[in-house]
Structures are given as structure tokens and as C-alpha cells.
């Protein structure tokens, strides 16, 4: 999907993005600054990988351009966004903070198709990659 979000950054503010081991490896292996894992990953209370924040934003958010510095290798959860899995509701929902979710998910069909992918991603990649 082409980056349709070029002037916002709300999704990068105080992110709680969960990362898979594949996400971590992809970022680590493609980061031009050779940023160590410790600089962009933290451990949650549940033992999951989570993207770090700096100054209130994702460590890869460029506040000048309001864009992602690693867009081509961004985490899978960022690729799914603004569709997120609500663990309390046990379903996928559009993040209410995103001002333009229809740019990414224009209809219910695209929403449902991606939700299945999110659930598989969580089951197969995230839940088995606890630290």
C-alpha cells in the first residue's frame, strides 16, 4: 500500500506498537544508522517486544517531515494501521485517533480481510516471540 498518510503523525504519538521478532530483524538489518535493538525495542510487562518512544513519538518518527524514517521496513502493525486489534473486544477496530481511516480501509470488506491477517500475525508471530 502506498503511503497515503503524509502530514499527520498521530499514529506515531505515544505508540504502543507491538513488534514481532521478524519486525525487529527487518528494522535492525535495514537501518542505515545501524541502530542497536536496545535503541528501538523495549520489553512490555507481558514480555513482548514494543517499539520505543522518544520525546513522545516513535523513535523513527521525523517530526520535521511528519513521516516515518523507516517506512519501507516499518513494523507489520504499522502496515495494518489504522486497523488495530482490540484485545478487550476480541475484534479489530479502526483507531479512533486516526483522522482518515477511509484512505486505508475504504469498505467493510477490506477491513475484514485485513483483520484476519492481523489475527494470524498476532497468533503466529507476536505471541511466540516473547522475550
| pLDDT computed for residue 34 by the predictor | 73
pTM score of the predicted model: 0.86
pLDDT band with cut points at 50, 70 and 90 for residue 129 = low
Backbone phi and psi for residue 4, each to the nearest 5 degrees, phi listed first: -95, -10
Range of the structural domain that residue 33 is part of = 10-126
3-state secondary structure of 41: strand
**3 domain residue, yes or no:** no
Q: How many domains does the structure of the chain reveal? A: 1
Whose cell is 520535521? That residue is 64
- Rounded distance, CA 49 to CA 29, Å? 17
- Rounded distance, CA 60 to CA 72, Å? 12
pLDDT band with cut points at 50, 70 and 90 for residue 6 = low
**Mean predicted confidence (pLDDT) in 20-43:** 88
| Cell digits of residue 73 | 521496513
**115 domain residue, yes or no:** yes
Amino acid at each position: 500500500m502506498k503511503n497515503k498518510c503524509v502530514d499527520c503523525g498521530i499514529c506515531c504519538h505515544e505508540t504502543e506498537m507491538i513488534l514481532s521478532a521478524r519486525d525487529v530483524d527487518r528494522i535492525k538489518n535495514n537501518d542505515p544508522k545501524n541502530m542497536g535493538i536496545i535503541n528501538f525495542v523495549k520489553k512490555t510487562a507481558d514480555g513482548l517486544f514494543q517499539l520505543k518512544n522518544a520525546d513522545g513519538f516513535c523513535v523513527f518518527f521525523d517530526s520535521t517531515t511528519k513521516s516515518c524514517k523507516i517506512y519501507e521496513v516499518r513494523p507489520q502493525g504499522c502496515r495494518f494501521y489504522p486497523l488495530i486489534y482490540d484485545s478487550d473486544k476480541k475484534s479489530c477496530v479502526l483507531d479512533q485517533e486516526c483522522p482518515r481511516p477511509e484512505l486505508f480501509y475504504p469498505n467493510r470488506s477490506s477491513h475484514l480481510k485485513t483483520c484476519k491477517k492481523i489475527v494470524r500475525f498476532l497468533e503466529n508471530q507476536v505471541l511466540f516471540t516473547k522475550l
